[in-house]
């Protein structure tokens, strides 16, 4: 088992795209900078979607450019299609993720595409990336969303997820990710699914997981993922954005609580808790009244707590 875990901050993308108001670009930069100063070494700064779809993400190219100036930071962005991937490459993203919904119903509803159409899109991105010089080629992740269940289809067959994992790798993804978009996952399922994906495409092809805390199991699922050898866990500062389906419930697992759990367990995250709380303050100041989640920020660290 790894002694260090990479906490991948997705708040500037998943958090900010989930709230209605638009955070200003200077405030986003200040927040990203504060996250970097706190020790975060992978940040998903935005999404290359048309600005009429998600005006909150219109400045993603500028944010990628800014984040690239922070030494040692892996700059990640979400892309929905080839056009987005081209924009991400132009901006200089180090890592791009394309969400692929394992539930075809969800895919049709969300991006109006069948699985076949999505596969073609990923193949097109894979082919495009191959034309680039290696130094300019970003890491491509196919993110298996609704992998643990779908609010429309209910159970998503595990065999389908495994088939899609293989298809995504064959289409040119460097890696796949498991994504509990709906907050349906449980620890036994997380363990089983990771083992199955590893068996199907190799352990080096699945190192990260994206979890939501919709039903309170987020950190238990993160623990299960770490037990199975995953080394990257997505999280969002303050659980920003909450869950649109469950008012009052947090969306992404909360960075602050995840970092506490990991450091308390003896994993090194490289993250300084006080500096992380400073970043939280910047976020809170930039979005007054926006609910932020997390239990450790309320309760504080244990007395005489020592990070790993």
CB of 235 to a second copy, least distance (A): 12
Which residue of 248, 274, 288, 289 would you call a contact of a second copy, by CB under 8 A?
A: 248
Output phi, psi for 110, to 5 deg: -85, -45
> Residue 34's closest CA among 285, 258, 260, 232?
285
152 binds a second copy (CB under 8 A): yes
186 binds a second copy (CB under 8 A): yes
CB of 248 to a second copy, least distance (A): 5
Stretch that binds a second copy, among 11-19, 24-32, 88-96, 181-189 (CB under 8 A): 181-189
What is the chain's percent helix, strand, coil content, to nearest 5? Answer: 45, 15, 40
Q: How far apart are CA 42 and CA 306, in angstroms?
A: 24
Which residue of 254, 259, 287, 292 would you call a contact of a second copy, by CB under 8 A?
A: 254
213 binds a second copy (CB under 8 A): yes
62 binds a second copy (CB under 8 A): no
Q: How far apart are CA 193 and CA 98, in angstroms?
A: 20
Going from the C-alpha of 285 to that of each of 2, 20, 106, 291, the distances in angstroms are: 36, 16, 35, 12
The label of the residue with tokens 């932020």 reads: 292
Smaller CB separation from a second copy, 4 or 51: 4
Stretch that binds a second copy, among 18-26, 70-78, 194-202, 254-262 (CB under 8 A): 254-262
> Residue 140's closest CA among 167, 91, 173?
173
CB of 193 to a second copy, least distance (A): 13
The pairing of beta strand 6-9 with beta strand 232-235 = parallel
Q: How far apart are CA 201 and CA 147, in angstroms?
A: 16
Number of residues that bind a second copy (CB under 8 A): 48
Stretch that binds a second copy, among 184-192, 201-209, 268-276, 283-291 (CB under 8 A): 184-192
Query: Would you give the end-to-end CA distance of the chain in angstroms?
Result: 15
40 binds a second copy (CB under 8 A): no
CB atoms within 10 A of CB 123: 16
241 binds a second copy (CB under 8 A): no
CB of 32 to a second copy, least distance (A): 24
Binding site for a second copy (CB under 8 A): 149-155, 182-184, 186-189, 213-217, 219-220, 222-224, 243, 245-250, 254, 257, 260-261, 264-266, 294-296, 298-300, 302-305
């Amino acid at each position: 088992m790894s002694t260090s875990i990479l906490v991948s901050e997705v708040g500037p993308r998943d958090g900010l795209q989930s709230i209605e108001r638009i955070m200003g670009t200077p405030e986003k930069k200040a927040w990203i900078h504060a996250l970097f100063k706190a020790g975060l070494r992978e940040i998903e700064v935005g999404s290359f979607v048309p600005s009429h779809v998600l005006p909150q993400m219109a400045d993603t190219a500028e944010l990628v450019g800014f984040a690239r100036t922070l030494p040692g930071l892996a700059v990640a962005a979400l892309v929905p299609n080839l056009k987005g991937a081209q924009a991400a490459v132009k901006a200089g993203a180090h890592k791009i993720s394309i969400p692929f919904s394992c539930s075809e119903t969800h895919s049709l509803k969300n991006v109006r595409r069948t699985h076949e159409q999505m596969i073609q899109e990923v193949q097109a991105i894979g082919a495009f990336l191959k034309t680039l010089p290696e130094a300019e080629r970003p890491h491509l992740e196919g993110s298996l969303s609704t992998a643990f269940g779908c609010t429309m289809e209910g159970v998503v067959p595990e065999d389908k997820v495994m088939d899609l994992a293989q298809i995504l790798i064959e289409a040119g993804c460097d890696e796949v990710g498991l994504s509990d978009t709906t907050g349906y996952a449980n620890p036994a399922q997380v363990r089983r699914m990771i083992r199955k994906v590893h068996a199907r495409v190799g352990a080096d092809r699945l190192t990260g997981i994206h979890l939501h805390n919709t039903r309170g199991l987020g950190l238990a699922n993160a623990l299960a993922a770490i037990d199975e050898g995953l080394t990257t866990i997505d999280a969002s500062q303050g659980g920003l954005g909450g869950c649109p389906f469950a008012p009052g419930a947090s969306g992404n697992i909360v960075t602050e609580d995840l970092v506490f759990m990991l450091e308390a367990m003896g994993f090194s995250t490289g993250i300084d808790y006080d500096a992380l709380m400073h970043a939280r303050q910047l976020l809170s100041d930039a979005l007054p009244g926006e609910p932020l989640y997390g239990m450790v920020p309320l309760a504080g660290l244990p007395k005489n707590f020592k990070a790993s």
